[in-house]
Amino acid sequence: MTRRTIPLNTIDSFLVTARHLNLTRAAKELCLTQGAVSRKIATLEAWLGFAVFERHARGLHLTHQGCALLPELQSAYENLLDVTDRACRKASVIRLKAPTCAMRWLVPKIVELEHSAPDIQIVLTTTIEHGINFKNEPYDAAIVFGPHAKSGTLLFEETLTPVISESLLHKEESAEDALQRLTFLHPTRDRTDWSLWLAGDPALRPAMSKNQHFDTMDLAISAAIQGFGIAIADETLVAEDLRMGRLVRPFSHSVKTGASYRLCVRQGSENTAGLAAFCTSLLNIS
């Protein structure tokens, strides 16, 4: 047995099948037939000299030797992928994952950064997910959001305030009276954000008879800009809209939710060319 005879093309089939313990799902992920996956695993088992799976009527189980092999082989395979991935990527290309709710704040920052540092290119992926698992996701950095987010560097804390298109406000009525007739735009499928803000002023008891619910805060803000109703939004996310007059704040008070936006970087990548400059620039212009 020599290094040259190691069937490297069978390793991914073993790892994917070990994760699913189901040949049908493994074949689908690998874009192979079940028979092809089975043959690859058989080739690996023949080379190893022992079985890595036990076949049962209800599916597959790792053998004792398969269980022992899996973690080290998984780690070695991930290291191989990381090495080849870094070799193929330009040092100035930064893969960034961010939740869609942060786009109103983030996109202008990226534009400003790329103008000031044209050698840095941000490849942005948006998601409705608020977390990041660098072990399983191919990103150099990510913006995460949540009430329990503690990792990474703080960008800003979520602070809620109502915002509305000025065209919806009548000069002859107070902001409190306006709440009784306006459509409430909710950034989630429940009324948590509005309820939290209203709790800060017990004198306000709007009927909330008309409501529209959105999947993200960004969608609710966009609807408010178009005059659909009054939205509850994060102060930082709508700062530019307020400055440009696209929205106004009918009430002065705001409330912190305990959630925050944070910048996280893949461990070991902090000194990658361009990434440190990106982090510093993003923090400086936030």
Tell me how far apart the alpha carbons of residues 60 and 198 are, in angstroms, rounded to a whole number. 54
Burial bucket for residue 64 (CB in 10 Å: 0-12, 13-18, 19+): exposed
Q: How many CB atoms lie within 10 A of CB 211?
A: 12
Q: How many CB atoms lie within 10 A of CB 46?
A: 12
pLDDT tens readout for residues 68-99: 999 999 888 888 887 777 666 554 788 899 98
Query: How much is the average pLDDT of 144-163?
Result: 87
pLDDT bucket at 159, cuts 50 / 70 / 90: very high
pLDDT at position 30 over 50: yes
Token reading at 1: 């047995």
pLDDT for the residue numbered 160: 96
Could you tell me the sign of the dihedral formed by the alpha carbons of 85, 89, 94, 100, in that order?
negative
